[in-house]
Amino acid sequence: MSIDKDTARRVAHLARIEVAEDALEGLAAELSGILGFMEQLMEVDVDGVEPMTSVTPLDLPRRADQVTDGNKQADILRNAPDAREGFFAVPKVVE
């Protein structure tokens, strides 16, 4: 599978990483190389094999419905690049 420039642009946007237009060709080539390496997987006969979902055969632990956390607004906000009046502030989102 080879990745073209448009696909590279789409993937970069999907991942929300700004890539300059003139860097897209290079990126496409790099990603194609890595995907080429993964092509080996196509050789494996995986018929009837279940995809792994958890490497350890455990049951999902469940916790009781108790309020044990929260009320730490200062901790939540203290690393924020822009916090105002108890909120995180971000550039305006248009719907």
Partner 1 sequence: MADLQKMTIATARDALRKGDFTSLELTESYLDASSSAAALNAYIAHTPDLARDQAKAADARISSGDAPSMCGIPLGIKDLFCTRDVQTQAASAILEGFRPPYESTTTQQLWDAGAVMLGKLNMDEFAMGSSNETSTYGPAVSPWRRADGGNTDLTPGGSSGGSASAVSADLCVAATGTDTGGSIRQPAAFTGIVGVKPTYGRVSRWGIVAFASSLDQAGPMTKTVRDAAIMLEAMAGHDPKDSTSAPMPVPDFEAALTGDIRGKTIGIPKEYRLEGMPQEIETLWADGTAMLRDAGARIVDISLPHTKYALPAYYVIAPAEASSNLARYDGVRYGHRATLSQGEGVTEMYERTRAEGFGKEVQRRIMIGAYVLSAGYYDAYYKRAQKVRTLIKQDFERVFADGIDAILTPATPSASFGIGEMADADPIKMYLNDVFTVTVNLAGLPGISVPTGLDSQGLPLGLQLIGQPWGEAEMLNTAYALEKAAGFAHYAPKWW
Partner 2 sequence: MTELSYTEPKPKVIAGSVDDWELVVGMEVHAQVKSDSKLFSGASTQFGAEPNSNVSLVDAAMPGMLPVINEYCVEQAVRTGLGLQADINLFSQFDRKNYFYPDLPQGYQISQLYHPIVGEGEILVDMEPGVARKVRVERIHLEQDAGKSIHDMDPEMSFVDLNRTGVALMEIVSRPDIRGPEEAAEYVRKLRQILRYLDTCDGNMQEGSMRADVNVSVCKKGQYEKFRETGDFSHLGTRCEIKNMNSMRFIQAAIDYEARRQIAILEDGGSIDQETRLYDPTKGETRSMRSKEEAHDYRYFPCPDLLPLTIEQEWVDRIRAGLPELPDEKKARFVTDYKMTEYDAGVLTAETANATFFEEVAKGRDGKQAANWVINDLFGRLNKEGLSVDATPVGAAQLGSILDLIAKGDISGKIAKDLFEIVWAEGGNPAEIVEARGMRQVTDTGAIEAAVEEVIAANPDKASNAVQKPSMAGWFVGQVMKATGGKANPKAVNEIVRAKLGI
Round to whole Å and give the CA distance between 17 and 63. 37
Closer residue to partner 2 (CB): 26 or 82: 82
Does 85 bind partner 1 (CB under 8 A)? Our answer is no
Round to whole Å and give the CA distance between 38 and 33. 9
Closer residue to partner 2 (CB): 2 or 73: 73
> 1 Cβ partners below 8 Å, 6+ apart?
32, 35, 36, 39
Does 29 bind partner 1 (CB under 8 A)? Our answer is no
Residues lying near partner 2 in the complex (CB under 8 A): 14, 16, 53-54, 56, 58-73, 75-77, 82, 84-95
Distance of CA 24 to the CA centre of its chain: 20
From candidates 21, 22, 38, 84, binder to partner 1 by CB under 8 A = 38
